[in-house]
Amino acid sequence: IFSLVFLGSHDSFSFYIDEASPVGPEQPETVQNFVSVFGTVAKKLMRKWLATQTMNFTSQLGAGIRYFDLRISTKPRDPDNELYFAHGLFSAKVKEGLEEINAFLTEHPKEVVFLDFNHFYGMQKCHHEKLVQMLKDTYGNKMCPAIFAHEVSLQYLWEKEHQVLVFYHSPVAVEVAFLWPGQMMPAPWANTTDTEKLIQFLQASITERRKKGSFFISQVVLTPKASTVVKGVASGLRETITER
């Protein structure tokens, strides 16, 4: 028995957070009010804390990233009814991001990616149907149907010519053969700025999750608290947390 480890990125799409976009529907009223008062200045400060990535999907793939953390939202009063990646503010259109990843897979037929759709904001049944159809149109037979995790090996995926595993944290997953239920990709969150606590959490969670027979995520990330943001509001995530 052996395990495969793939590198992943957190809020994978956040390289293109748009300061001109509305605030995401998941944001609390305090943030909404802050932006309504301070406008563009507030959004520029928000972006410094929300953009957890500096590379687009193609560059991340080139750097070895194979797991993508994806959060999807509708945009208020959007006449095109598009789906967007979102993290506080809106990022790129989902369709464009999926196509970018697909272009890499077409050029590298033995590469495999994990797409983890783990947060949905402002989405109704019709939006989920639109996203499912978008996945079908983009990846087609590249997607691996949901089976038992222990049956998935690189050899199996290569033989079947599957390159994409889609994890979908919504009841919609049980209705679509190529959507893996979200519980098959658990991602416990340490929620700390303390590196020692993070390491202890990761060690304990790895031991526990190996017993469950599913994929799992080790979130090796420090999470700023409200007080952290207040202290470093102008400097941002990179200087306050990442460089440390």
Residues near 83 by beta carbon (within 8 Å), at least 6 away in sequence: 72, 73, 74, 93, 94, 95, 123, 127, 130, 131, 134
Q: Is 10 labeled as catalytic in the residue annotation?
A: yes
Which entry of 87, 127, 128, 169 is annotated as an active-site residue? 87
Q: How far apart are CA 29 and CA 73, in angstroms?
A: 17
- DSSP letter at 173 equals G
Catalytic (active site) residue 87: yes
CA distance 147 to 40: 47
| Eight-class DSSP state of 239 | I
Max CA-CA distance within the chain? 57
CA distance 91 to 242: 21
Helix (H) or strand (E) holding 111: none
Residues annotated as catalytic are: 10, 87
